[in-house]
Structure 1
Amino acid sequence: MSSTLPAGPGQKPAPGAVFDLGVSRLFGHGDLGDEGMVSGWAVPEDNHNWNDGIEASFVLAVKAGGGALELVVEGVPLTGETCPSQNITLYANGFRVGFWCLNEGGPQRLTARIEPEQVFWRGKLGYIKCVWVMPNSVRLSEIRDSTDTRQLAFCFRSILLRDVP
């Protein structure tokens, strides 16, 4: 189910993914595909999406009552000997809502609180443009014997929006 982010005069609306609170959505072909992906994403793969660049933008719309929300993203950072850590900053509609320094490989859970005033409400839908900034993104072709020229930092697996308890 697609939606659009309301635009100002003369601007084209951005695509968005509609979320029900408490329902986890999966990145990749199985669910989201490229729905909500505005810029900075590699081609969707089975059950995940990688960023491609130092910023990845994602627009979502949530069916909610207007309270504070918690955004939970699960995935795996690209870390190793030549890339010891990944710093990730999350902005929601321009507000800095999270920062993580990930220096361990393996599954990670990134959780951020989004206040009601940080959501752009139109009728019964709240719109959020999420921008993940990942300055430590690296090209595999520069650190390994690889022809992969994508600039990677984090393998996004799932995303969930829920009411703050």
Structure 2
Amino acid sequence: MFECREGCIRRKGKKRRVCYVTGRSKWWKRAGTGLKCRCNPCTDAPSHPEDYPSDCDPALPSYPAGYACNFTCPTGYVRALGGGRALCNNGQWTGNDLVCEELSGCASSPCQNGGTCLNEVNGYTCTCAPGYDGVHCETDDIRTTPFPNF
């Protein structure tokens, strides 16, 4: 099976060749020859609707077929959907747009009594200091609080 390399498309010709064997002779059937691929370069760097950063150098004059650029979420955001990879496919950039969500749960410092906040998609989690419990570490945990000696 013959394939065009990634980023190229079949222009003409067959993907398969049939090998015939008679005795000690082997030959390819002529109909299986001539696969021709079209591999046009992309003339500009890919863009993202939200202007997310990518690892592509926008100063390059063109990008060969099969060239891939990867988009990343800006600081303070995490990937919610999409792959973030753009592929130069015969002169056109293809791929799924990256969708990022803002990490803002810890911005208001919701964890109390020395608790540590961890941002998550659509929220946050508090890790409580010893002696405290609850969603926001608001409860004094009697089980771990030492009693005074009288």
TM-score when scaled to structure 2? 0.22
TM-score when scaled to structure 1? 0.21
Higher RCO, Cα 8 Å, sep 6+:
1
